[in-house]
Chain A
Amino acid sequence: MTSTTTLKTLFAALALGASALASAQSSSLLNVSYDVAREFYKDYNQTFIAHYKKTKGVDVKVDQAHAGSSAQARAVNDGLAADVVTFNTTTDVQFLADNGVVAKDWAKKFPHDASPTTSTMLFLVRHGNPKNIKDWADLTRPDVKVIVVNPKTGGNGRYAYLGAWGSVREKGGTDAQAADFVAKLYKNVPVLAKGGRDATATFLQRGIGDVLITFESEVVSVEREFGKGKVDAVYPSVSITAENPVAVVERTVAKKGTAELAKAYLDYLYSDEAQEIAARHAIRPRSEAVLKRHGDQFKPIQQFTVAKYFGSLTEAQKVHFNDGGQFDKLYGK
C-alpha cells in the first residue's frame, strides 16, 4: 500500500515537474548574438523582461549565447534552437534566410531594414596622434602601419575593407582607383588579426601599428578597458554604415510556440529605452532623439551604406572576399 502511494506521489511530482518545465520553456527565449554585444543584451534583457511583465503580465526568461557572428549563424543553421538572432553583418542573417531558417523577407519584418542599431568604422591612434592621421588617405602613407582584421575571418575586417574602398568612391573616385587605394593600404598592414578583439590586443597590448581600424562601439569599449588617454579616436571624413540586423528564427518559434514573444523582443529594441541602452554601449541608435542626446559621443560623420557601392553585403562578399576575389588579388601572385 504505502509503496504504491509513494510511487503515485512520485509520478505526480514528476508530471508536475515536467509540466512546469514545459511551461517554463514556452516563455523562455534564446537570443543568439555576436561577441561584443554581450554587455548590451545583458542590460537590454533586464529591461525587456520588466517591460513584458508590465504589459503582458508574463514572466519570461531570456538566455543569450555569444560568439563570432558567422560562427553563431552556422550553429543556428546546424540546429542551435535560437528564437531570435541578432548579428553584426547582414550576410549572416541572409545565410540563414537562404537555408529557410529565418523568413526570406526578414529585412522587411522590422523597421530600418530590420537593423535597430548601427555602428561605423573609426580609427584608433596612439595618444596625441603622433603620426598625425586624419583621414583614410593617411593610411597609405609609407610611414604608417595599419592594424586591421582579416576580412576572411571577421565582419569587422569586411567593413574596414569596404569602408576604405567606399571612401575613394565617396570622393568621386572610380572602382579602379578604389582598388589601387585598398591595395596600397593593405601593403601597410603588418598583422591581419583574426577578429575584432584580437586586433585590439595586437594594437594595444603588443604595441604594433600606428592605427587600428575598428567599430565605433569597440573604440569606446577600448577607452573603458584601457583607460582614457592611451589612445585617441579619429573620425575620418567619411565612413561606412555597419548595420546590426535582427531576425526571428521561424524554425524554432514554430516548434516552441514563441513567435509572439520573439517578435515582441525584437520590436522593443526600437523603443526609446532600448535605444538609450544601445547608446550607452556605444552602438549607434536609430532614434534621432536618442542620437541627439548622445551627440558628444556619436560625433557626426558622413556615412554611406554598403548598398550604395556594393549592392549588398552578400554581393560584396562574392566580389571581394570569396576565394579568388578582389581581396585575394591583393596578396595573390
Chain B
Amino acid sequence: MSANTSAPRRSKRVLPGFGLTLGYTLFYLSLIVLIPLLALLFKTFSMSWPQFWEAVTAPRVLASYRLTFGASFIAACVNLVFGLLIAWVLVRYRFPGKKVVDALVDLPFALPTAVAGISLTALLAGNGWVGQYFEPLGIQLAFNPNGVVIALIFIGLPFVVRTVQPVLEDSEKELEEAATSLGATRWQIFRHVILPGIMPALLTGFAMAFARAIGEYGSVIFIAGNMPMVSEITPLIIIGKLEQYDYAGATAVAVVMLFFSFVMLLVINALQAWQRRHAGMPA
C-alpha cells in the first residue's frame, strides 16, 4: 500500500544479522533458563499422575500455597502503593541526602536475604526494638504470617521503585501543566494524566515484586516460625521434602509453583497490553 514497505531498506544494525542474533538469543535462553526448568519437569516424571496429585494437594502443601501466594500478593500490593510514592518523591523533589535515599532503595537487592531475615527477626520479635511495642497490644509481628508479609515487602520494594522511576522521569510535565490550566483537580490530573502513563511500569514492578516474593526463601525462613498449616511457606515444603530425600515430591511442588508464577506473569502481561491499548499508546 504505502511506498515505504516496498522500498528496499538496509539499515545498519549494531549487532550482526538477525539470524545469528536470534539464534544466539534462543540458545542462550535455553541454556540458562529453559534446560534447568526442563530438568525440573523431568525429575517429576518418576511419579505417576495420582502420586503427583497427592504430593501437590496434601493439606500442608495447600496451606503453604495459600500463605505464599497470599502473603506475596499483599506484599506486592503494599509495594505498589508505597513504591510509587517513593519513586515520585525521588523524581519530583529535591532534598538533601537524596542520593543516599536513592541508594537505600537498592539495598534489599544487594543484601543477602538471610541477613535481611535475621535482622528483621531481631527487630520484630517480642523482645526486639520494634516488636516490644507491639507485643503489649497483642500484635505479634514475627513468627506468624505477619512476619512473612513484612519480609516480602522488604525484598520486593526495589522492583516497583526501579521500574516506575525512569518512566516518571520521562513523563512530560507540560501535560500536567496543561491539565492544571484547564482547571483539572489534582486527583483528576493523577487519575487521567499521570496514572495512564506509568500504569504499565507499575504493573511490571508489581509482577516482578510478586514473582520474587513467591520464590523467596532466605529472608522469610527465620521470621516465619514455620508452623505447619499456619506459617510454612511453599519453598520450605520443598526443602522439607528434599530433607526426606523425596526428590520427586519436591520437584512436583516446585513445578506447581512454576506453573502459577507463569500464569501470573501471563496475566500481568495481558493486563499491560490491555492497558497500553486503553491508554492509546503503541503496544
Residues of A near any B CB (own CB < 8 A): 68, 70-71, 73-74, 95, 150, 152-154, 189-194, 198, 201, 205-208, 317, 321-324, 328, 330-333
CB closest chain-B residue, reference A323? B58
Q: For B246, list chain A residues within 8 Å (CB).
A: 322-323
Q: For B228, list chain A residues within 8 Å (CB).
A: 192, 328, 330-332
Nearest chain B CB to A203 CB, angstrom units? 11
- Asked if residues A74 and B244 are in contact (CB atoms below 8 Å), the reply is no
List 10 A-B pairs, Cβ < 8 Å.
A152-B240, A189-B227, A192-B227, A194-B226, A194-B236, A206-B142, A207-B125, A207-B127, A208-B143, A323-B244
CA distance A68 to B239 in the complex (A): 12
Chain A to chain B: the 6 pairs with minimum beta-carbon distance, closest first: A331-B228, A152-B240, A206-B125, A207-B127, A191-B225, A192-B226
* Chain B, 54-108, CB within 8 A of any chain A CB: 55, 58-60
CB closest chain-B residue, reference A95? B245
- Asked if residues A205 and B229 are in contact (CB atoms below 8 Å), the reply is no
B60: contacting residue among A70, A207, A331, CB under 8 A: A331
CA distance A81 to B146 in the complex (A): 43
Nearest chain A CB to B248 CB, angstrom units? 12
With A191-B227, A323-B246, A323-B249 as contacts: A153 and B126 at CB distance below 8 Å? no
Q: Does B222 contact A (CB under 8 A)?
A: yes
Nearest chain B CB to A149 CB, angstrom units? 10
The dominant DSSP class at the A interface is loop
- Asked if residues A153 and B121 are in contact (CB atoms below 8 Å), the reply is no
- Asked if residues A331 and B126 are in contact (CB atoms below 8 Å), the reply is no
Nearest chain B CB to A198 CB, angstrom units? 7
CB closest chain-B residue, reference A157? B243
- Asked if residues A74 and B60 are in contact (CB atoms below 8 Å), the reply is no
Nearest chain A CB to B135 CB, angstrom units? 11
CA distance A324 to B246 in the complex (A): 13
- Asked if residues A206 and B240 are in contact (CB atoms below 8 Å), the reply is no
Q: For B270, list chain A residues within 8 Å (CB).
A: none
Nearest chain A CB to B150 CB, angstrom units? 15
Q: For B249, list chain A residues within 8 Å (CB).
A: 323
Q: For B127, list chain A residues within 8 Å (CB).
A: 206-207
**Contact flags B108-129 to A (C-beta < 8 A → 1, else 0):** 0000000000100110011110
Nearest chain B CB to A202 CB, angstrom units? 8
Nearest chain B CB to A9 CB, angstrom units? 40
CA distance A243 to B265 in the complex (A): 48
- Asked if residues A154 and B243 are in contact (CB atoms below 8 Å), the reply is yes
- Asked if residues B242 and A193 are in contact (CB atoms below 8 Å), the reply is no
Q: Does B241 contact A (CB under 8 A)?
A: yes
- Asked if residues A206 and B244 are in contact (CB atoms below 8 Å), the reply is no
Nearest chain A CB to B117 CB, angstrom units? 10
- Asked if residues B239 and A153 are in contact (CB atoms below 8 Å), the reply is yes
With A206-B122, A208-B125, A323-B249 as contacts: A74 and B242 at CB distance below 8 Å? yes
CA distance A218 to B239 in the complex (A): 23
CA distance A189 to B228 in the complex (A): 11
- Asked if residues B225 and A192 are in contact (CB atoms below 8 Å), the reply is yes
CA distance A328 to B126 in the complex (A): 28
Q: For A324, list chain B residues within 8 Å (CB).
A: 58
- Asked if residues A332 and B226 are in contact (CB atoms below 8 Å), the reply is no
- Asked if residues A194 and B221 are in contact (CB atoms below 8 Å), the reply is yes
Given contacts A192-B227, A194-B222, A331-B227, list 13 more A-B pairs with CB under 8 A: A70-B245, A152-B244, A189-B227, A201-B118, A206-B128, A317-B244, A323-B241, A324-B58, A328-B60, A328-B228, A330-B228, A331-B228, A332-B229
